[in-house]
Structures are given as structure tokens and as C-alpha cells.
Amino acid sequence: MAAPVLRWCCPARRWILANIDRGPRHGRGAPTGSRSSGKRGQSSVAQQPLVTAQKPRKGEHQWAAVVGLEIHAQISSNSKLFSGSQVHFAAPPNSLVSFFDASLPGTLPVLNRRCVEAAVMTGLALNCHINKKSLFDRKHYFYADLPAGYQITQQRLPIAVKGSLAYSICVGKKRNQVINKTVRIKQIQLEQDSGKSLHDDLRSQTLIDLNRAGVGLLEVVLEPDMSCGEEAATAVRELQLILQALGTSQANMAEGQLRVDANISVHRPGEPLGVRTEVKNLNSARFLAKAIDYEIQRQIEELENGGEILNETRSFDYKLGCTVPMRDKEGKQDYRFIPEPNLPPLLLYDSASLPAGADPQQVINIDQLREQLPELPSVTREKLVQQYGMLPEHSLTLLNEVGLLEFFQNVMKETRAEPKKVTSWVLNTFLGFLKQQNLAVSESPVTPSALAELLNLLDQKAISSAAAKKVFEELWRSGGKTPAQIVSEKRLELMQDQEALEQLCQATMEEHPQVVMDLKKGNPRAINKLIGLVRKATLNRADPTVIKEMLEKQLSS
């Protein structure tokens, strides 16, 4: 099934809810085939021509979607949240499992300091209130990848609450209108990750790998302030950038370091919120928006057909491109939360409340962490705009594409060309080539140095823009050569000899007196013809602008 076309009203899309005319589409007159009261019939307003379009789909413009997210980010730390076993991606199965992780009786949880710091830093970056006292709880359920039969989490009193995440989406035909949005953060909590189940249907068995069991997670809960897949995907991307800038999580979705669950419902504007479904384990950036949009569409269709939405858990089938019901649950799960008795309340301090003579190993100072926060993406983007005069949407793209900002900065280091030129080349030409071949920045055959050198040649007017584009193409195709080599191989250098060019101009004019005549008569196209002729004579090694200047000069003398 192809991805469904959006039919409801998402502010980022072309159909904006507020502007939809709910009245008859076809002008003020009554629709065809129905003559109503006489008064209308006597209306002096000219009826607009009826468009022979179909009637609008029932309720097309009358739905609003509500999307909330629960995002689990694996904390970047050396060891797990409550035990000393290491955290590594793709280690041999069950090679990073301590007695505690395997739930051997008698083992006790010991809180990992680095994980707490990661949670506080993330909370600060997301404008949260940090709870100086937070508590740990047990959430019980039976599953093979949960050895203890419960997960240690923070249900009653999490470490951070009430924050916000700002993100920007680009709208408009050229997607160059930047709209700033905010989504509220309900809370951030520390919790354990579970192990991994690998289902072997062939042998009717399930294999359990506990390497991941007990790894620290930050659960970030986003309030249902988003209204479509694009907004959700953009918010997630921004959170990823923040986590990566902080270093608190590598947030790589492909490696399972960032997992998203979406809570989705639809309702008619003005009416209460609809029943929501939970779509779990959206683990691909590419499919996040698609999955959410599909579910929204599914719910709308279901309701329009007189059906009802079940409060259920669904997952996204990537191959089919649709959501499917996930757990067969008769009745809801009761997690039987109780306080975790082996962990005292987590107490955090700030500079004002820090007890005198406290062992720095044993306490965490929120103010100190705040001072040490690295630069956040929004600040980086602002700096780019200020420093290089680029447009906000450019700074968005630079940060959104993995590795692109670094590439850009490396080019800037080695070139004298104007920042605007560099921006344009990186975002248009370079990025264009990448996208065409579906490559990541890291896979680019063109290095920052090569592009810098090319831009320098352009800047020095050693080559024309057209030539530069050709050189770039060649660089892309055969990574080994330098721009200078390519230029000389293809003889693309601009003529530097002014005298020679002047002579050529002169000669060309003498060879084509007719054109010169036309020009003097005032024919506007004649000059271009002349320029073209001179260019040809120079084997395309002269800048048209320069030629034009020269010709005009010669003509006027």
C-alpha cells in the first residue's frame, strides 16, 4: 500500500484548518439540482461558475489529529544504570551481563552517577524543572527479556518535569518559510532497558540476549502538542541533535539508541479528544512521519465509516507501510507499581543547598552541571546566522544533515570565498549530489579540502561558475584528482591575459560586422551573440561578464 495522501488539516501542509471554508464550495448559489427557497433564487449575486469537480469527501476538512510521543534514549555511559557491566553495541550475546542484570537473588541495584548527570543535563537543556528529590519504583510484568519480572523506573516522582522543546518546520512552496513551534515536555525519567528477544519461528523458540538488560534509559515524554507526522519527526530530530550535542545519548535510531512510541488520536475541532492508540517502536527516522500519518488516516477513515477506535497498542509494519495491532490483551495490564525498596530517594543539590563539607563524589550539584552544558543546536544555528549571514532555514539544514555542519566548517576553514557562496555550494550543489545518490556526508567522494580549493579558484576568478560546476562533477566522479588538476586537464581556466582577450574581441567584431551593425541599431540580442562568439573563440575560457564589459568598452571608443 502506498503512503496515503494527507487529507486532514495539518498546519504545515497546504490546507490550513483555519482557512478552510466550511460552506459550499461552489459559490454562493445553491448546489446543482436543488432549488431551495425563493429568496435565494432571487438573489442578485451572480452565481459563480460551477466547477465540475467532485463533491468534497465527507468530513475531509473537519478532523484534527493529536500526537504525543514517548521517546526512550539510551544513555551514553560506560556501565549500566544499576550495575557495573559494560555498555557496548553488538557485543557477543550475553557477554555483558552481571549477576544483578541476570536477576540472581541477593543482588542489589547501585545507582550510576553518570546516568544521573545525563538526566539532569538533558532536563536542563530542555528547560525542565529538576526535582531535587526523585524516587525509584518497580513496574511489574512478566516477559522473557525482563529477568527480574519488574523494571526499575521512576513513576511517582521523576527526575525532571515540565520542560519544553522548540523546533522549526519549513513550509511554503519552496519550503523556505520557517515556522517555530514548541512541544511541552511532561517529564524525563531514568529507567532500565530490557534485554532483547529474538524469535526463531522455525524452531519455535525465543532466544534471549541480556546484554541490553539494565542499560540506562532516559524516557522523555512529549505532551500531545503535535498534529502530524512531520511535526513529530522534526521534534524527534531536534531532540536527537540536543542529546548528541550534550553527549548524553548518541541517539542513533538505527542502533536502537533512540526509540519512539507515538500516542495518536483524532477528533473534530471543538469536540473532546478521541480515543488514542499507541504505536510502538518507531525505530526509523525515515518511517516515523509515515507511520504516524498512516495511523491518523486510518483512524479518520475508521470513524468516517462509522467504526470506533480501540484503545490498543499497534506497531508499524515497514514492508506493508501500515500499522497493525500488536499485543493480544484481554483487559489492560496492571503493572502493580511499588516503591523500589533497595534505593533510597535520589537527592540532588544546587550551590545554595549543598551541605558544607560534602564529599563531591557523593553529591551532584545541578548548578555546576548547568555551567558545564555544551552549546545547544539552537545556539549553534543562531551563531551561523549571525556569523555567516545565512538564512535560518539554511542553518536548519546544516544541522539536520548528519555531518554536514562539520563539512561546511571545514570548507570555511580552508577557503577565502564568501560564506554565502560556500553556503550555497554546500547546501545546493554538494547536498544535491548526495541526495541524488542517497549518500551520507561521510560517504562523500568530495572532501572539504577539495571543495575549498575549488571555491578558491572560483573566488580568484581563475575559472567561471559554469566551469566550476563541471570541475565539481568531475571531482565527484573521480575522487582522487585535485580541482587544479581537473581544471588544467580540461583546460577550463579563464583567460588571464587581458590584452589577448581584447584582441580577440576586436577580431571577433571585425569578423562579424553585421552583428556589430545590429548592435549599433539597438538590437538587444546582438550583444549576446557577440559575447557567444568571443566565448567560442576563447574556447569557453572567458567570463561572459568580462567579455561584455570589454566589448562595450571597445564599441564606445
Partner 1 sequence: MLGRTLREVSAALKQGQITPTELCQKCLSLIKKTKFLNAYITVSEDVALKQAEESEERYKKGYVPPYNATVVQKLLDQGALLMGKTNLDEFAMGALGSDTGGSTRNPAAHCGVVGLKPSYGLVSRHGLIPLVNSMDVPGILTRCVDDAATVLGVLAGHDCKDSTTVQDPVQSFILPSLTDVSKLCIGIPKEYLVPELSSEVQSLWSKAAKLFESEGAKVIEVSLPHTSYSIVCYLVLCTSEVASNMARFDGLEYGHRCDIKVSTEAMYAATRREGFNDVVRGRILSGNFFILKENYENYFIKAQKVRRLIANDFVNVFNSGVDVLLTPTTLSEAVPYMEFIKEDNRTRSAQGDIFTQAVNMAGLPAVSVPMALSSQGLPVGLQFIGRAFCDQQLLTVAKWFEKQVQFPVIQLQEIMGDCSSVFENDLASVSLKQ
The binding site for partner 1 (CB under 8 A) comprises 102-111, 138, 140, 142-144, 147-150, 204, 206, 208, 334-338, 341-344, 362
Shortest reach from residue 342's CB to partner 1, in Å:
5
Task: List the grid coordinates of 33.
Answer: 439540482
Contact 215, 75 (CB under 8 A): yes
CA 160/CA 186 separation, integer angstroms: 9
Judged by beta carbon, residue 191 or residue 293, the one nearer partner 1 is: 191
SS3 256: coil
Helices assigned H by DSSP within 219-284 = 229-246
CA 215/CA 194 separation, integer angstroms: 8
Judged by beta carbon, residue 105 or residue 272, the one nearer partner 1 is: 105
Shortest reach from residue 257's CB to partner 1, in Å:
26
Judged by beta carbon, residue 206 or residue 387, the one nearer partner 1 is: 206
CA 398/CA 409 separation, integer angstroms: 10
Task: List the grid coordinates of 251.
Answer: 541517539
Judged by beta carbon, residue 308 or residue 334, the one nearer partner 1 is: 334
Give per-residue burial for 37-75: e unless 16+ CB within 10 Å, then b: eeeeeeeeeeeeeeeeeeeeeeeebbbbbbbbbbbbbbb
Judged by beta carbon, residue 20 or residue 108, the one nearer partner 1 is: 108
Task: List the grid coordinates of 483.
Answer: 580541482
**Comparing C-alpha atoms, which of 456, 396, 382 is closest to residue 425?**
456
Shortest reach from residue 80's CB to partner 1, in Å:
14
CA 146/CA 214 separation, integer angstroms: 9
Shortest reach from residue 106's CB to partner 1, in Å:
4
Judged by beta carbon, residue 138 or residue 535, the one nearer partner 1 is: 138
Q: What is the CA radius of gyration of the chain?
A: 32
Judged by beta carbon, residue 102 or residue 462, the one nearer partner 1 is: 102
Judged by beta carbon, residue 59 or residue 339, the one nearer partner 1 is: 339
Contact 75, 250 (CB under 8 A): no
Shortest reach from residue 155's CB to partner 1, in Å:
12
Judged by beta carbon, residue 208 or residue 391, the one nearer partner 1 is: 208
Judged by beta carbon, residue 337 or residue 433, the one nearer partner 1 is: 337
Helix, strand, coil % over all residues of the chain, rounded to 5 = 35, 20, 45
Contact 28, 48 (CB under 8 A): yes
Give per-residue burial for 2-35: e unless 16+ CB within 10 Å, then b: eebebbbbbbbeeeebeeeeeeeebeeebeeeee
CA 170/CA 237 separation, integer angstroms: 14
Place of cell 559575447: 531
Shortest reach from residue 178's CB to partner 1, in Å:
45
Quick one: 506 exposed, middle or buried, by C-beta within 10 A (0-12, 13-18, 19+)?
A: middle
